[in-house]
Amino acid sequence: MNIVIENLNSSIIDSISIATVKRLNGTYDVGTLFNEISSLSYEKVIMDITSLNNYNDINVLKSLISFIKPDKLILVLNKENISIEYLNSIIEIGIYNIAYTAEHIVELYSNPNNYEDAIILINKSKKITKIIGFKNVTKHAGSTTLIYILKKHLDKYRKVLALEIDKLDFNFFYNKEMVSIQDNAVDMTLEKYGNTDIILIDLNNSKNAVKYCDEIIYLVEPTMIRINESMMVDPTTFNSLKDKKVILNKSPLTGDEIKEFESESHIKAYYVLPMLNERRNSDLINNLIDKLKL
């Protein structure tokens, strides 16, 4: 059984099923919380930071963990209003289980953070924009259209920019947030759009943009003509894809055929997409977005 203390972040906490011995809603000072919960037995305290009066004062949190052990505390924060300096202070006093979403809470309940995990969280928080690069391995593997489809889905709840390097195919989508640029303009463009949540980059042959990517997705069309064509140009093509995130895109393969392809090519498919209708929403794309944690 657990204790839930919530306020402005209640929608996050209430979206998951939590067995509780006590639930509080509102704002409280440390003394009141001590009186309310210090005599109770519990597994975890899931606490909305906004339910604590003067929570910006790190000494208030120090008082809190004098009667709630840090390893039993999951602290739910407002990402928009929490500074890196504040995160550092929380970690310095031993609070490592920091959550922004319902998924974070569920994960931390079963797999609590240690100090190293908490530092990784700070490093991610320093960089607000997530940058994903896409690169065709086989000819016409579909990076341009896949980026367009991903952007359409993400636009519903995130601020997304798509960049295309050294080509002009984005012009045909008539979308002002799909921008074609030269490789030498990457630095300036990324600085200009630094407040964007997600940037999707059609890398083509760019060397400059790669260094900015948090991760790169490699696209392979697993048809015989495309595979043989790539192997003829460079016999080592697939050797370089080991341990990379490879999507089989526009794939006609299913089930055992995918396993056979993986065995023959010595690469593991990160995800498989058939030919998609770009005019429709797709659960396959939604699942890919979840897998990429976008």
Q: What domains does the chain contain, in order, with CATH numbers?
A: 2-126 (3.40.50), 130-291 (3.40.50.300)
Nearest CA among 248, 291, 254 for reference residue 142: 248
Looking at 3-7, 52-56, 71-75, 189-193, which range is the least confident one?
189-193
Nearest CA among 96, 20, 14, 18 for reference residue 48: 14
Give 217: exposed, middle or buried? Use CB within 10 Å, 0-12, 13-18, 19+: buried
Q: Which pTM value belongs to this model?
A: 0.58
pLDDT of residue 214: 85
Neighbours of 268 (CB within 10 A): 12
Res. 195 pLDDT band, cuts 50 70 90: confident
Mean pLDDT to the nearest integer, 87-104? 89
Mean pLDDT to the nearest integer, 148-165? 93
Nearest CA among 248, 252, 254, 293 for reference residue 271: 248
pLDDT of residue 102: 85
Hey, which residues does 162 pair with through a beta bridge? 178, 200
How many angstroms separate the CA atoms of 200 and 148, rounded?
Answer: 9
pLDDT tens digits, one per residue of 238-288: 888 888 999 999 999 988 999 998 888 888 999 999 999 988 888 999 999
> Residues 192, 168: contact at Cβ < 8 Å?
no
CA dihedral 109, 115, 116, 122 (to 10 degrees): 90
pLDDT at 127 over 90: no
Neighbours of 127 (CB within 10 A): 10
How many angstroms separate the CA atoms of 133 and 253, rounded?
Answer: 24
pLDDT at 17 over 80: yes
